[in-house]
Amino acid sequence: MAEAISELLSSRTISSTKGVIYLSNPQPYMDFENLYLKVREKEGRIYPDSIVAQLPDVERNHPLCREWQVRGRSLDKLEAYLTQKSNPATILELGCGNGWIANRLAQIPNCSVYAVDLNLLELEQGARVFSNTTSLRFIYGDIFDNIFPEDRFDSILMASSVQYFPDIQKLIERLLGLLKAGEEIHIIDTLFYTEVSAGAARQRTIDYYQKLGYPGMADHYHHHHWADLAGFRYKINYDPGSNFNRFRRGILKRTISPFPWIIIQK
């Protein structure tokens, strides 16, 4: 199946440079990409190749060490889950950034991973850093451009990226169309909100980007509700608010992920 997708991609490729396959024209997305990268740089999230190659492992004195520990545990659980599924498998990661997760998943035996984003700087970095991972492809593309054929993927992952899509229901419907029957979308490292909590979260986001010096970024960061998932077949595979996890966090003082792991089945 990976060969079939590769053949189809070759017919849809606009160009291919620096290890990145272009399936969409970058011009319409450049303003957002430039803003996003300025924010990432101000936050200290644009890393040299040497650090990207080791993610999620960072030095203990790294300012985002705790965040990377949490994200690393999320990936460990997902990797173990996908490893147990039948192989070979074809995986799409949407919003891959520099590709550190996609590279890990591409180490699963008999898996092929397609890492997609509209962030050219980090796509090129991922293609450079992980150039020896032969089962990994980095793709510049808008998922709504019909860049992939229907019913072709065994798993689709979105890790800390759903918040950049304004209409999550439209997004999920699009991704379900790309999945084979009975397969799954995985959403990790992303918060979901109730109607009550979303308003306060929205204000925190506005305040944060205002203080950072890029208030316009708040318009591109969306707070999705649990109610948005009501029409889909989904389950919470990890619930940070469960009694067990509250006990681990409160009594045992464990550092646990605040993010749910949501699985949506086609």
Rounded Cα distance, 231 and 208, in Å: 32
Is the model's pLDDT at 220 over the cut of 90?
yes
The whole-angstrom separation of Cα 73 and Cα 71 is: 5
DSSP letter for 85, please: S
pLDDT digits (tens, 9 = 90+) for 120-148: 999 999 999 999 999 999 999 999 998 99
> Domain limits of the chain?
2-26+42-191+233-265
150 neighbors 175 (Cβ within 8 angstroms): no
Tokens for 171? 């997004």
Q: In the beta sheet, which residues pair with residue 91?
A: 113, 155
Instruction: Report the pLDDT value the prediction gives residue 209, as an integer from 0 to 100.
Output: 98
Report the C-alpha gap between 201 and 167 in whole angstroms.
17
CA-to-CA dists, residue 79 to 95, 105, 169, 172, 263, angstroms: 17, 6, 26, 22, 14
- The type of residue at 10 is S
pLDDT reading at 63 higher than 70: yes
Question: What is the CATH code for 2-26+42-191+233-265?
Answer: 3.40.50.150
pLDDT, mean of residues 13-22: 85
- Cα 18 to Cα 7, 121, 130, 133, 138: the distances in Å are 20, 10, 12, 15, 10
Q: Which of 49, 174, 180 lies closest to 116, judged by CA?
A: 174
Average pLDDT in the 167-175 region? 98
pLDDT value of residue 16? 81
Query: For the segment 67-124, what is each residue's pLDDT rounded down to a tens digit?
Result: 999 999 999 999 999 999 877 799 999 999 999 999 999 999 999 999 999 999 999 9
Helices 120-129, 30-43: axis angle to 10 degrees equals 70
% of the chain beyond a pLDDT of 90: 83
Is the pLDDT assigned to residue 253 strictly greater than 60?
A: no
Measured distance CA(168)–CA(173) in Å, rounded: 9
The mean predicted confidence, pLDDT, of the chain is 92
pLDDT at 251: 61
Q: What's phi and psi for 186, nearest 5 deg? A: -115, 125
Q: What is the pLDDT of residue 3?
A: 59
- Could you give the residue ranges of the DSSP H alpha helices within the chain? 2-12, 30-43, 49-52, 65-84, 100-105, 120-129, 168-178, 195-212, 243-250
Q: How far is CA 26 from CA 21, 23, 147, 259, in A?
A: 12, 9, 14, 31
Interior angle at CA 243, CA 241 and CA 247, nearest 5: 100
